[in-house]
Structure 1
Amino acid sequence: MNLNIIAGVGRHRVRLLGLISILAVYSCVPSKTLKEENKSLPDAYHGAVSVDTMNTASLKWRDFFSDPYLVSLIDTALVNNQELNVMLQRIEVAQNEIRARKGEYLPFVGFQAGAEVEKVGEYTRNGAVEKNLDIMEDKEFPEPLTDYSLGLVASWELDVWKKLRNSKKAAVFEYLSSVEGKNFMETNLISEIADSYYELLALDNQLALIEQNLKIQENALKMVRIQKQAARANELAVRRFEAEVAKNQSHKFEVRQQIVETENKLNFLVGRTPRPIARVSNNFFESVVDTIYAGIPAQLLQNRPDIRRAEYELAASKLDVKVARANFYPSFGIKAGVGLQAFNPKYLTETPASLLYSAVGDIVGPLINRNAIKAEYNTANARQVAAVYEYEKAILNGYIEVANQLSNIENLKNSYGLKVKQVDALTESIDLSTRLFQSARIEYIEVLFTQREALESKMELVETKRDQLMARVHMYRALGGGWN
């Protein structure tokens, strides 16, 4: 048999074995099943009387809040708040990341120009060739030898496994996640401003109650002093009433400090230096607590920005797993160039003599020691599983927040009605106890306790009204309102 034929067959066998070996390696690429998320929710909220799709979250925040001073604060905060502006810059970064990843799967084309000078030894291969070769009108290469080039170069990685496209899609989902993060920050910012504003109104009313009560107590103190002069009361009664007046005067300064701090908190949220907050507090108790429509739990998936953000992050993590798996496969690349080259600039324009071009195709893939790629793939899978849990946690948290606020609103409504009755009864008892004391039918201590209990009940009524207004805001936020 011809030895050349045997050798040819042997070479083909070696190539075939090499191809089989490579295919065997890539057939062992690991593959893990992506964890699927559970986003099922009950048909209605726990304890809900009826199921209705009417949802307060669909209201724009300008329609939800009626106080013009509060609306003005929110308007200013959405422009000047530093944290919100930082988030807007992060969105810009996410947009640029999309552009960068999109460019990775498009051809890269660059302009190249160069100039070189070289002197080689005569007793070398290049030197001998240069000395013995005639070039046009010159008898030999110039010494030292110069080289000028001008051209275009291009490179392109063929996205066979969709690694680059999936990477770009993941960047898109990350961008959408950052947008939802901004929306979630807006809902929290609006809620925090409204909470602080209602807290400020409540403090104003508590300060007014303290001042009203001080007038009552000062009148009672004058009465006790007159009673002492008439030998119908003793020094102990006078001292007890004086202590009560001093206590409430001290409390007044504490409330004033809380007002200053709350105003400055609002100024910080609005993004400006401390200044008085414009407001009207005398109609605090007349503030209407409108009915909140919770809709159905499934609407949370579309309305709450934190759930939508977690959903986009989950989608991005699934694509990251595909990108990490594609790293096990070989990458295909093409490099090409075209231009002009000559040792003398005057020859650059002489084509086709000075024309040069090249085209190279290559395939590169991991074969041995793929531990880093395996680790990256395992990490991507772990992040995907974590993203599933984060998404499920966001859904559960949203449902529980709405359920809590539904119960809170109902309980505060019942509590407020009872506290109104308590305040009315104790307010009437102040005049009654004063008259009974003047007629020596009760001790001074009963007058003192009655005034104290009346003030405490009025302060609690203010706090309950504040909690009602805050609960309405918290419900609006829990439903996913405030960002649209």
Structure 2
Amino acid sequence: MNHALKPIVFATGLLLGACSLNPEYHRPAAPVPVQYPINADADILPLPTSWQEYFTDPELQKLINIALANNRDLRMTALRIEEARAQYGIQRADRLPTLDATGTYERSKMIFAQGQTFDVDLYRASVGISGFELDFFGRVKSLTTALLEQYLATQEAQQTARTSLIAEVAASYVNIRALAERLALAKDTEHARNLAYSRILRRHQAGLDNAMDLKTAEMQLETAQASIAALQREYTQAVNALQLLAGQPGLAITVPQERLDRIAFSPLPVGLPSTLLERRPDIRAAEHRLKAANANIGAARAAFFPRIQLTTNVGLVNEHLSSLFSSSSDKAWAFSPQLTLPIFNHARNRANLDLARVRKEITVAEYEKAIQTAFSEVSIVLLDREQIEAQIASQTRIADADRERLRLAMRRYDKGVANYLELLDAQRSLFESEQQLVQLKQLSLTNSINLFKVLGGEWQAS
């Protein structure tokens, strides 16, 4: 073997034999109960592997696809992944020697004892390694591991942002559908009150109704028109909000002329709290940050030990540039290891180690909080689901009763048995009950969207 290559081979062998001072990693126990406070159903159902399997409405799928492609917040999180990947690549490169080629020219004057002088020209071309750290104690390896875990945490953060965006688009779409249905109910009410006003006007002109009834009918007609204006304003704002989420201002949004009852999402297997550790990307990101903090302790420990850096090169030397790469050139090589032993910075290294340990404890607390937050969010959604369904059942019966009451009040008024105030009260009660029923149905759909979000969104079965 060429003697000039031995230093490089030696350095590579030492690199491969590097050890690690990282503490052994143990996943902290999940600080949550083993069961949710309410029995969850649908546990035997298969896990959906994509959001399309859960949100099956064609118009909603189109809007989500547009948002995933154009939303600026999601685009920024994707760029942060590229940033973290580049940082990891830079740190990872430090684990391998960097081979550089250099060319130098040197001119000097030599003076001998007899007073003779002459000029010397030297041209040098060489390749070599400069300042490469032999990672005996795993300092560079620990730093590389920490950045890898940070990069993986950034990836999980991007998945969290993606899931949140899908849920926000779905909730915004449901809100638009609900406002459209409420607006249609308001227009129906306005039409009915307009007919009632016309009837009372004729009766007033015939002397059958008094001026009080006429003014009351007029006031109720204006109230219905004001409700239409308010709902129209909310609808426009909801459309603008959805266009912003989709990243396309002015996007045409098609709203099917169907009731909210026609929207349905696929059932989700809730599972046990322990499954959240694998489902939730924010929990996975917190664990990656915990592993990074664990690796930083290893790097802080390695700072107490000597650091060895290697500089070596091999090349050719000649007095003439034109002959530098000819057989007349002399061969030259250098091997310069450097040992740096910490002596008077023990206090600084001890403080850095204490800092790394404290930061790990902080990330442990953050990891446990992420688990507890996830458990709380799922529990709230499950508890709300039962209560909302009970409310919808009760409100449906109320709306049916109000509808029948209005029919009877209309008959009594036509026969002259009841006055207009009784009919007016029945109309107002039906309008309010129908509006509340639509809002409760929207709340139920939003609860299902939140369940998709708090369970981790889209995931692959283990």
Normalising by structure 2, we get a TM-score of: 0.88
Give the equivalent residue in structure 2 for 1:102: 92
* 1:53 Cα deviation from its structure 2 partner: 4.6
- Max Rg structure: 1
What is the CA–CA distance in structure 1 between the aligned matches of 2:271 and 2:326, rounded to whole Å?
78
- Equivalent residue for 1:128, pick from 90, 94, 112: 112
Secondary structure of 1:337 counterpart: strand
Secondary structure of 1:38 counterpart: coil
Give the equivalent residue in structure 1 for 2:375: 399
Give the equivalent residue in structure 2 for 1:388: 364
Give the equivalent residue in structure 2 for 1:81: 71
* 1:290 Cα deviation from its structure 2 partner: 5.2
Task: Give runs of aligned pairs for residues 226-375 of structure 1, distance below 5 A.
Answer: 226-288=202-264, 291-345=267-321, 348-349=324-325, 354-375=330-351
Give the equivalent residue in structure 1 for 2:28: 37
Give the equivalent residue in structure 2 for 1:153: 128
Change (3 A) 1:207 1:435: same
* 1:347 Cα deviation from its structure 2 partner: 5.8
Secondary structure of 2:417 counterpart: coil
* 1:380 Cα deviation from its structure 2 partner: 2.0
Secondary structure of 2:207 counterpart: coil
- Equivalent residue for 2:105, pick from 115, 124, 136: 115
One-letter identity of the residue aligned with 2:371: I
Secondary structure of 2:118 counterpart: coil
Change (3 A) 1:276 1:128: same
What is the CA–CA distance in structure 2 between the aligned matches of 1:476 and 1:200, rounded to whole Å?
20
Does the aligned pair in 2 maintain the 1:206–1:462 contact within 8 Å? yes
* 1:463 Cα deviation from its structure 2 partner: 0.6
* 1:344 Cα deviation from its structure 2 partner: 3.3
* 1:249 Cα deviation from its structure 2 partner: 0.8
Does the aligned pair in 2 maintain the 1:204–1:259 contact within 8 Å? yes
Give the equivalent residue in structure 2 for 1:216: 192
* Residues 95-125 of structure 1 deviation map (CA, whole Å, 9 limit, x = unaligned): 222221121121121111012334x5xxxxx
What is the CA–CA distance in structure 2 between the aligned matches of 1:323 and 1:243, rounded to whole Å?
77
What is the CA–CA distance in structure 1 between the aligned matches of 2:308 and 2:365, rounded to whole Å?
36
What is the CA–CA distance in structure 2 between the aligned matches of 1:130 and 1:212, rounded to whole Å?
118
What is the CA–CA distance in structure 2 between the aligned matches of 1:466 and 1:56, rounded to whole Å?
26
Change (3 A) 1:281 1:152: same
Identify the range of structure 1 (53-62 vs 315-324) with the bigger mean alpha-carbon deviation.
53-62
* 1:251 Cα deviation from its structure 2 partner: 1.7
Identify the range of structure 1 (352-361 vs 169-178) with the bigger mean alpha-carbon deviation.
352-361
What is the CA–CA distance in structure 1 between the aligned matches of 2:282 and 2:228, rounded to whole Å?
41
- Equivalent residue for 2:62, pick from 52, 72, 78: 72
The reply on whether 1:198 has 2:174 as its aligned counterpart is yes
Change (3 A) 1:352 1:159: farther
Does the aligned pair in 1 maintain the 2:31–2:368 contact within 8 Å? no
* 1:34 Cα deviation from its structure 2 partner: 8.9
Does the aligned pair in 2 maintain the 1:206–1:459 contact within 8 Å? yes
Secondary structure of 1:110 counterpart: strand
Q: How many residues are paired up?
A: 439
Change (3 A) 1:153 1:287: closer
What is the CA–CA distance in structure 1 between the aligned matches of 2:372 and 2:25, rounded to whole Å?
21
Identify the range of structure 1 (305-314 vs 320-329) with the bigger mean alpha-carbon deviation.
320-329
Give the equivalent residue in structure 2 for 1:25: none
Task: Give runs of aligned pairs for residues 472-483 of structure 1, distance below 5 A.
Answer: 472-482=448-458
* Residues 278-303 of structure 1 deviation map (CA, whole Å, 9 limit, x = unaligned): 13132322334654431111111111
Secondary structure of 1:141 counterpart: strand
What is the CA–CA distance in structure 1 between the aligned matches of 2:46 and 2:257, rounded to whole Å?
26
What is the CA–CA distance in structure 2 between the aligned matches of 1:273 and 1:60, rounded to whole Å?
27
Does the aligned pair in 2 maintain the 1:409–1:471 contact within 8 Å? yes
* Residues 287-322 of structure 1 deviation map (CA, whole Å, 9 limit, x = unaligned): 346544311111111111111111111111110121
Consecutive unaligned residues in structure 1, runs of 5 or more: 1-30, 121-125, 133-139
* Residues 225-261 of structure 1 deviation map (CA, whole Å, 9 limit, x = unaligned): 2332343322222112212211221221221122222
* 1:407 Cα deviation from its structure 2 partner: 1.1
The reply on whether 1:433 has 2:409 as its aligned counterpart is yes
Does the aligned pair in 1 maintain the 2:40–2:382 contact within 8 Å? no
* 1:427 Cα deviation from its structure 2 partner: 1.4
Consecutive unaligned residues in structure 2, runs of 5 or more: 1-21
Does the aligned pair in 2 maintain the 1:56–1:481 contact within 8 Å? no
Does the aligned pair in 2 maintain the 1:57–1:480 contact within 8 Å? no
What is the CA–CA distance in structure 1 between the aligned matches of 2:173 and 2:325, rounded to whole Å?
77
Secondary structure of 1:243 counterpart: helix
What is the CA–CA distance in structure 2 between the aligned matches of 1:483 and 1:262, rounded to whole Å?
29
* Residues 350-405 of structure 1 deviation map (CA, whole Å, 9 limit, x = unaligned): 66863221111121032114454344333322221111111111111111111111
What is the CA–CA distance in structure 1 between the aligned matches of 2:270 and 2:190, rounded to whole Å?
44
What is the CA–CA distance in structure 2 between the aligned matches of 1:221 and 1:201, rounded to whole Å?
30
Give the equivalent residue in structure 2 for 1:16: none
* 1:349 Cα deviation from its structure 2 partner: 4.8
* 1:437 Cα deviation from its structure 2 partner: 2.7
One-letter identity of the residue aligned with 2:88: I
One-letter identity of the residue aligned with 2:39: A
Secondary structure of 2:36 counterpart: coil
One-letter identity of the residue aligned with 2:57: D
What is the CA–CA distance in structure 2 between the aligned matches of 1:285 and 1:33, rounded to whole Å?
54
The reply on whether 1:378 has 2:368 as its aligned counterpart is no
What is the CA–CA distance in structure 2 between the aligned matches of 1:44 and 1:257, rounded to whole Å?
44
Change (3 A) 1:44 1:281: farther
